[in-house]
Amino acid sequence: MAKTAIKSYSLAEMKDKYIGKKGSKERDQYEYELSMDVLSRMIKTVRQERNLTQEQLGELVGVQKAQISKLESSANSATIDTILKVFKALKAEIHFNVTIENQYLQLV
């Protein structure tokens, strides 16, 4: 019996096939949600490493505990101002990287 070769796919190929091509509405939404999920997890991880409760972090930032909880579960509801305040309160640096038509820009 002849062996059948198994085709393997890269992550990019799988995303193109099952989510949508880069630049499509579906792919942009997926990438946005993934970025927000990563940001939320980063905030929670740093808060926990600093041994702060959500309430304590909220006090440092000037928001209610509920806002920190929402931020950690989904950064979609937060303004950039709130996110920057959170990282400042956590004494954590945040860097932005921007790619514009194959040009890589980094703001530090």
The CATH number linked to 81 is 1.10.260.40
Structurally, the chain folds into a number of domains equal to 1
Is 53 inside a domain boundary? yes
Helices marked H in 50-79:
54-61, 65-73
List strand residue ranges (DSSP E) for the chain, in order.
Answer: 96-100, 103-107
Tell me: the pLDDT tens digits for 20-73? 998 999 998 898 888 888 889 999 999 999 999 999 999 999 999 999 998 898
Ranges 4-8, 24-28, 30-34, 77-81: which has the least confidence? 77-81
Residues ≥6 apart with Cβ < 8 Å to 20: 26, 27, 30
Is 5 inside a domain boundary? no
27 contacts 19 by C-beta, under 8 angstroms: yes
103 contacts 97 by C-beta, under 8 angstroms: no
